[in-house]
Amino acid sequence: MHRSLVLTLALLFALGTSAYGQTFGESGNFQNPRVVAGQVDAGGNVIVGTGFTVRWVSNGHYQIRFNKGIFVNACPVVSVTPISIFASPPESSIYQTGCGRTVEVLLSWPIGNFINSPFNFVAVGTP
């Protein structure tokens, strides 16, 4: 019974619930969000997704650039999940300089060495 409840709550959270609308909809600042998601290989090639390009900058450093018109009025919120065959995947850092179309992704081992690695990402923002 506990597993069913946890699974149901996780699915509701993942798929979006009325809490999502209450959290953002009432404020009037986050209506009609746009979502861009993708998968990128270790060399910076887009495997899955549209609405963006990726550039490999250097070891463990990638730039995601969103197409014009996708996030016009806001900086998107971006989450990155590194993909690894190792038990301990690389850590990710994401940053933007200002509120532009480009997001920087850094992937590194906990000891600080940067590593090329495939990753998934999702970006959410207003149109």
Region at 98 (left for phi over 0; alpha for psi -120 to 50; beta for the rest): left
With contact defined as beta carbons under 8 Å apart, do 52 and 39 qualify?
Answer: no
In this structure, the answer to whether residues 8 and 43 fall within a common structural domain is no
pTM attached to this predicted model: 0.74
In this structure, the answer to whether residues 3 and 59 fall within a common structural domain is no
In this structure, the answer to whether residues 79 and 105 fall within a common structural domain is yes
Taken in order 27, 101, 94, 7, the sign of the CA dihedral is: positive
pLDDT digits (tens, 9 = 90+) for 16-51: 433 333 344 445 556 778 899 999 999 999 999 999
d(CA 46, CA 44): 7
In this structure, the answer to whether residues 41 and 16 fall within a common structural domain is no
- Consecutive 10-residue averages of pLDDT for the chain (127 residues): 38 36 47 90 97 97 94 87 86 87 93 92 88
d(CA 94, CA 10): 25
- Nearest to 66, CA basis, from 41, 106, 96: 96
